[in-house]
C-alpha cells in the first residue's frame, strides 16, 4: 500500500509537470499567433489607408511613425524586413552608435517562402530562457509580397511556474497525509492478518511429544490460514495418538528391562542358597558335636539370602505400584524439617525462606522424596573427606515450592548425567538404582519437576519444584 501510494504520487507529480509544461508551450504558441494576427490586421489597415505607393522601398516611410504606435498598442516589438532579409524598420529604439542589425538568416527566408502559410517560427534558448520569433510575409491588396514581419517573443513562464509549485506543494501535503494513513492502515491490517499466524507460530513452538498439546480455536479471515489451522489441529490429534502409543511402548520396554533386572537380582542369592543346602545335605551328621553351630551357620546364611531377595522384591513392588496419593493441606517447611530429624549427621543444615509454606500434597510421599535425596547426598560424600556439607533449603517461588538438596560430594560424571534417573542405573556398590526413579515418578504425578546441577569433584544440587495447589 505504501509503495503504491509513493509510486502514484511520483507518477501524478510527473504527469502534472509535463501537463503544465505542455499547457505553457501551447499558451505561448497561441498567444504569439494571436499577436501576429492582430498586428498583421493592423498593418493591412495601415497599408490600405496610406497615400504612399505600396512598394518595399516605401515600407520605412509608411511605418515611420505607425510602427511605434502598433508596438505600444499590441505590447510587442515589431520588426519589418525586406524580402531579402534586411531590416527596414523596427519599433526598437536605436542610436547612431548601434551596429547595423543583422539580416534574417537565409535558411529562415527559405523556410518562409517554402511554407504554405508563408510563415515560420524560430525557437531558441538564450541563457535558459526560451525565445520565439515569428516570420511572416507582408502582402499588398493584391497579395503581392512587400516585406517580412518579425515579432520577437520572450516566453515568461513565471505564472505557470508559480502555479506548478503551488500545485506540487498541495499535492505533497495531500499525499503525505495519505502516506501517514497508509502507514496506519498497513500496520493494523498486517497485525490483523498475521494475528492468526502468530497464534499458529506460538502453538507450533509449544508443541511437544511429551505433553498434551492444545488445538487452535482461532477462526481466521483467510481461507488459506483456516486450512493451516485445520491441518495443525489434525496433526495434534495424530501426535496425541502417537504419544500414547510411544508411552505404551516405553512402559512395556521399561517393564521388560525391569523384569530382567529383578530376575538377575533374585538369581544372585538363589545360587549360594542352593550350594548351602546341598553342602548341608552331604555333611549332615546328627551325632556331630558341632551340629548346633552348623545349623546356626546354615540358618544365618539362608536368612541373609532371603533378606536380600525380600529387599529386591520390596524395591520392585514400590516401583511397580505406587501407593495412591493421600493429598492433604500441610506446611511443607514443617514436614521437611521433620523428615530430616532421622539423620544424625552434624554437617546437615536446614534453611527455610519462611516458617510456613502451605501446599496440598501427600505427606508420606513428600517425606520419601526428602529422605531419598538426603540419603543419596550423604552417600555421595566420601568417608575420608574432611569438610562435609549438605544444605537442604525450602522456599516459595511464584506458585511453586522449591526444595533444594546441595552437597559437596564427588558429584556426577559427565557420562552418567543422562542416565541418572533411569530405573536400573546406580553408581553405588549396593542397591537397585530405583530411588531417584521412584521420586521422579512421584514428582511428575504432581506435575512438578526435578533437576540437578553438578560438577564432578565438587558436589551436586538437586532441585525439586512442586505446585503449591494440586487437585
Cell of 297: 551357620
- Exposed, middle or buried: residue 40 (CB in 10 Å: 0-12, 13-18, 19+)? middle
Distance between CA atoms of residues 148 and 134, nearest Å:
10
Q: Return all residues near 260 (Cβ < 8 A) that are at least 6 apart.
A: none
With the CA atoms of 48, 53, 54 and 58 taken in that order, what torsion angle do they form, in degrees rounded to the nearest 10? -120
pLDDT at residue 95 tops 60: no
pLDDT at residue 470 tops 60: no
pLDDT digits (tens, 9 = 90+) for 13-29: 888 888 887 877 787 78
Q: Return all residues near 50 (Cβ < 8 A) that are at least 6 apart.
A: 62
Instruction: Using alpha carbons, list the distances in angstroms from residue 333 to 165, 347, 350, 366, 442.
Output: 82, 19, 10, 11, 19
**3-state DSSP percent of the chain in helix, strand and coil, to 5:** 55, 20, 30
Distance between CA atoms of residues 467 and 401, nearest Å:
6
Give the pLDDT of residue 429: 45
| Residue matched to cell numbers 506540487 | 168
Which band of pLDDT confidence, cut at 50, 70 and 90, is reported for residue 317? low
Give percent of the chain with pLDDT exceeding 90.
11
Distance between CA atoms of residues 270 and 308, nearest Å:
10
| Residue matched to cell numbers 503544465 | 20
Distance between CA atoms of residues 3 and 179, nearest Å:
9
Helices 332-339 and 363-380: angle between axes, nearest 10 degrees: 50
Cell of 451: 533437576
According to DSSP H, which parts of 207-222 are helical? none
DSSP for residue 213: P
Distance between CA atoms of residues 463 and 109, nearest Å:
108
Give the pLDDT of residue 449: 92
Supply the CATH classification number for the domain 2-162: 3.30.450.20
pLDDT at residue 97 tops 50: no
Distance between CA atoms of residues 362 and 358, nearest Å:
12
Query: Which phi and psi angles does 457 have, rounded to 5°?
Result: 95, -10
pLDDT at residue 294 tops 60: yes
- Exposed, middle or buried: residue 64 (CB in 10 Å: 0-12, 13-18, 19+)? exposed
User: Which range among 194-208, 276-290, 422-436 shows the weakest confidence by mean pLDDT?
Assistant: 422-436
Fold classification of 223-320 is: Helix Hairpins (1.10.287)
- For residue 68, the SS3 value is helix
Which band of pLDDT confidence, cut at 50, 70 and 90, is reported for residue 407? very high
Region 412-437: mean pLDDT is 67
With b for 16 or more beta-carbon neighbours within 10 A and e for fewer, the 185-200 pattern comes to: eeeeeeeeeeebeebb
Distance between CA atoms of residues 95 and 107, nearest Å:
29
pLDDT digits (tens, 9 = 90+) for 236-281: 778 777 777 777 777 777 667 766 666 666 665 665 667 667 777 7
pLDDT digits (tens, 9 = 90+) for 108-151: 889 888 888 888 988 887 777 778 888 998 888 788 898 999 98
Query: Which phi and psi angles does 30 have, rounded to 5°?
Result: -65, -35
pLDDT digits (tens, 9 = 90+) for 31-72: 888 888 888 888 888 888 888 888 888 888 888 888 888 888
For domain 327-467, the question of CATH label 3.40.50.300 is answered with no
Could you tell me if 442 and 369 are in contact, meaning their C-beta atoms sit under 8 angstroms apart? yes
Which band of pLDDT confidence, cut at 50, 70 and 90, is reported for residue 462? very high
Residue ranges per structural domain of the chain: 2-162, 223-320, 327-467
Amino acid at each position: 500500500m505504501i509503495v503504491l501510494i509513493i509510486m502514484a504520487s511520483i507518477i501524478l507529480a510527473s504527469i502534472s509537470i509535463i501537463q503544465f509544461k505542455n499547457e505553457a508551450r501551447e499558451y505561448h504558441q497561441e498567444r504569439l499567433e494571436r499577436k501576429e494576427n492582430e498586428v498583421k490586421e493592423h498593418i493591412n489597415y495601415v497599408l490600405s489607408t496610406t497615400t504612399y505607393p505600396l512598394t518595399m522601398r516605401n515600407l520605412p516611410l509608411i511605418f515611420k511613425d505607425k510602427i511605434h504606435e502598433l508596438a505600444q498598442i499590441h505590447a510587442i516589438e515589431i520588426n519589418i524586413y525586406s524580402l531579402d532579409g534586411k531590416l527596414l524598420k523596427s519599433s526598437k529604439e536605436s542610436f547612431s552608435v548601434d551596429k547595423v542589425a543583422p539580416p534574417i538568416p537565409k535558411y529562415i527566408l527559405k523556410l518562409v517562402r517554402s511554407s504554405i502559410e508563408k510563415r515560420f517560427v524560430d525557437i531558441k534558448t538564450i541563457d535558459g530562457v526560451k525565445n520565439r520569433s515569428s516570420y511572416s510575409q507582408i502582402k499588398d491588396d493584391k497579395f503581392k509580397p512587400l516585406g517580412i514581419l518579425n515579432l520577437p517573443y520572450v516566453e515568461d513562464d513565471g505564472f505557470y511556474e508559480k502555479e506548478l509549485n503551488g500545485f506540487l506543494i498541495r499535492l505533497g501535503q495531500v499525499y503525505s497525509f495519505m502516506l501517514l494513513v497508509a502507514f496506519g492502515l498497513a500496520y493494523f491490517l498486517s497485525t490483523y492478518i498475521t494475528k492468526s499466524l502468530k497464534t499458529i507460530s506460538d502453538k507450533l513452538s509449544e508443541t511437544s511429544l511429551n505433553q498434551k498439546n492444545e488445538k487452535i480455536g482461532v477462526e481466521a479471515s483467510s481461507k488459506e490460514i483456516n486450512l493451516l489451522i485445520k491441518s495443525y489441529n489434525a496433526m495434534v490429534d495424530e501426535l496425541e495418538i502417537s504419544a500414547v502409543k510411544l508411552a505404551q511402548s516405553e512402559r512395556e520396554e521399561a517393564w521388560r528391562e525391569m523384569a530382567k533386572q529383578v530376575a538377575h537380582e533374585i538369581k544372585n542369592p538363589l545360587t549360594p542358597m542352593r550350594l548351602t543346602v546341598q553342602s548341608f545335605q552331604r555333611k549332615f551328621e546328627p551325632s556331630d558335636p558341632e551340629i548346633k553351630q552348623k545349623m546356626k551357620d546354615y540358618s544365618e546364611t539362608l536368612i541373609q539370602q532371603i533378606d536380600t531377595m525380600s529387599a529386591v522384591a520390596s524395591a520392585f513392588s514400590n516401583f511397580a505400584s505406587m501407593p495412591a496419593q493421600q493429598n492433604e493441606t500441610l506446611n511443607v517447611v514443617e514436614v521437611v524439617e521433620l523428615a530430616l530429624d532421622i539423620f544424625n549427621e552434624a554437617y546437615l543444615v536446614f534453611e527455610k525462606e519462611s516458617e510456613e509454606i502451605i501446599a496440598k500434597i501427600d505427606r508420606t510421599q513428600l517425606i520419601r522424596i526428602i529422605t531419598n535425596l538426603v540419603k543419596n547426598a550423604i552417600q555421595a560424600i566420601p568417608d575420608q573427606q574432611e569438610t562435609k556439607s549438605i544444605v537442604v533449603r525450602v522456599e516459595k517461588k511464584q506458585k511453586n515450592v522449591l526444595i533444594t538438596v546441595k552437597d559437596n560430594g564427588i558429584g556426577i560424571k559427565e557420562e552418567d548425567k543422562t542416565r541418572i534417573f533411569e530405573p536400573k542405573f546406580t553408581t553405588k556398590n549396593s542397591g537397585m538404582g530405583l530411588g531417584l526413579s521412584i521420586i521422579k515418578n512421584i514428582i511428575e504425578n504432581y506435575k512438578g519437576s526435578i533437576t540437578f546441577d553438578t560438577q564432578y569433584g565438587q558436589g551436586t544440587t538437586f532441585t525439586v519444584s512442586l505446585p503449591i495447589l494440586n487437585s
